[in-house]
Structure 1
């Protein structure tokens, strides 16, 4: 009895509510774990078969190809789509690049489009391995030809993390179109903390962007088509959103270690990925790649560009810049939109803390 009374007094001391809150949070976190796609169980040599790309674990992903229609192919591009999107994102860009001598390969990443595990996050390590497998395939199909990555938003983040990993894809460089780097470091403690609690308590709850006053593009007809497209995901599981934030964390961290040639594209009217994390990324990339005369890191900023740059109303100029860089990484960009990445004054970003 004395032990019970002593314990009760301890529980009513000031600060006890903190223990109770912590206990509640821990209970919520242990209630449900975020769901993650499982990898395949077989082993395959990556290859293309029946309109699908077969990855090393046997998983088959829908593939779209736009072979070069020029007299001779000059380069190849592996295109990775953004979050909730799928390979149809390149339905106009693919043929435009093919007409310039660039063969394009785009697949539905796991969890998206008609890919397996629709709506379930696959993990960014798996997504990076898929890119490495696709690069092996394209290298076999086009020996000796330059091969580049092209990633829109989430796709750009996948390329960044893959290039910084031990399983680096065999690509010669990459175009990062509005790369998704809005990680927890710049998101703030409250949103990231709330997301952690929700991802472990109600991971399967689906959220919709309906009602949010965010414009991903000024191309309204294109956005309406996406709204009618059954393969474009309209409602997203909370744990999948958490997985995306994990990827953005990893991509921002990877920007300290990237060494390849990169063209970063960004629109000044982007309402999806803010300027602050983008500039933090650029500051880190400037240090890791260098900004000497060889121009390993290049930046194009479009004053009227939104997030979905090459699908915007002015997307043709973005397409021309992409093609120009892929074919000659040292040539001036046709749009004249190139900006210094970090220099004060004339640069897009003020000097950035690139820790």
Structure 2
């Protein structure tokens, strides 16, 4: 049976909460997971245990400003600028290297946008050779139509972000817009670690990353080998059309897959109960197809 191991990852004086879902026996592949806005790595339901049961080890962490990596109220949403967000992720990835098995990066929502930002950052070109593939679940490339913040709010928010980047702002997303499962909606409302607080600096950085991706200003590094992107057509958290458009621009990437989940919501991993195993299988199948000898894959 898969086992779960909690731990910490130290970056300077910042201690990040970590959790590893380990398979029974030696792993066939490893995944570093990056969660979304106002989220944490323990909210992904059957996805990680399912992957671990198939021999895929998952290493998750709560990002700076989120989940159990928040140690006092003033740290809520305090992610820092994009350079710090990216360097944190790189530090976590490097903690899993060298790896004797293929290493993948999986990002959801804001975390998916962060993964693509890293994969496009020329500063980290050399790291691409160590990452076998990139898995994006509903990445934040743009807001869905009708759910965009007003231009006035964005304009003044950016100004405040430059002057007082650490100033906090409540930026709640409606749980009903994230999943179709009423029980998950209740769980989101009850989870005290989901504080919905961003900082003006952090929110501006998130918008900047999305803008760079949506407008084609961020180009994937040549070392990116493989990419899988899944998005639901009824996503009210991030834009399905923006994901599809971004994906179609990646003509230089030979090994790429786009999966449309018709009628599914933002959190594919906790959409309707009958759907969760479908999503977990899709992700696991894609990873295993790029991990280990064919005879190993054929047994799974």
Shorter chain as denominator, the TM-score bin is 0.7 to 0.9
Residues 175/167 of structure 1: CA separation in 2 closer, same or farther (3 Å cut): same
Of 236, 260, 267, 1:301 maps to 260
Give the match for residue 234 of structure 1: 196
Helix, strand or coil: the match of 1:167? helix
The one of the two structures with greater contact order (alpha-carbon pairs below 8 A, sep at least 6) is 2
Of 233, 237, 242, 1:272 maps to 237
CA displacement at 1:198 relative to structure 2? 5.2
Ranges in structure 1 where 5+ consecutive residues have no aligned partner: 1-48, 291-295, 332-355
Tell me if structure 2 keeps the 8 A contact 1:207–1:238: no
Hey, which of these two has a bigger chunk of strand by percent? 2
Tell me if structure 2 keeps the 8 A contact 1:125–1:162: no
Give the match for residue 298 of structure 2: none
Larger Rg: 1
CA displacement at 1:246 relative to structure 2? 2.0
**Following superposition of structure 1 onto structure 2, how do residues 1-355 of structure 1 map, counting pairs within 5 Å?**
51-55=7-11, 57-69=12-24, 71-116=25-70, 117-140=75-98, 143-165=99-121, 166-168=123-125, 169=127, 170-182=130-142, 192-197=154-159, 199=161, 204=167, 206-209=169-172, 215-252=177-214, 253=216, 256-258=219-221, 259-285=224-250, 287-290=251-254, 296-313=255-272, 314-329=275-290
Q: Structure 1, residues 200-248: CA drift from partner, whole Å, max 9, x if none?
A: 57863523437x6961111221121121111112344444322321222
Q: Between Structure 1 and Structure 2, how many residues are aligned?
A: 270
Q: 2: distance between equivalents of 1:113 and 1:121?
A: 12
CA displacement at 1:181 relative to structure 2? 0.7
Residues 123/89 of structure 1: CA separation in 2 closer, same or farther (3 Å cut): farther
Normalising by structure 1, we get a TM-score of 0.68
- 171-180 or 251-260, which moves further after superposition? 251-260
Ranges in structure 2 where 5+ consecutive residues have no aligned partner: 295-300
Helix, strand or coil: the match of 1:299? strand
Tell me if structure 2 keeps the 8 A contact 1:256–1:284: no
Q: 1: distance between equivalents of 2:150 and 2:253?
A: 28
Q: 2: distance between equivalents of 1:224 and 1:288?
A: 43
CA displacement at 1:155 relative to structure 2? 0.9
Q: 2: distance between equivalents of 1:228 and 1:213?
A: 11
Normalising by structure 2, we get a TM-score of 0.79
Q: CA RMSD in A?
A: 2.9
Tell me if structure 1 keeps the 8 A contact 2:45–2:270: no
Residues 214/280 of structure 1: CA separation in 2 closer, same or farther (3 Å cut): farther
Helix, strand or coil: the match of 2:43? helix
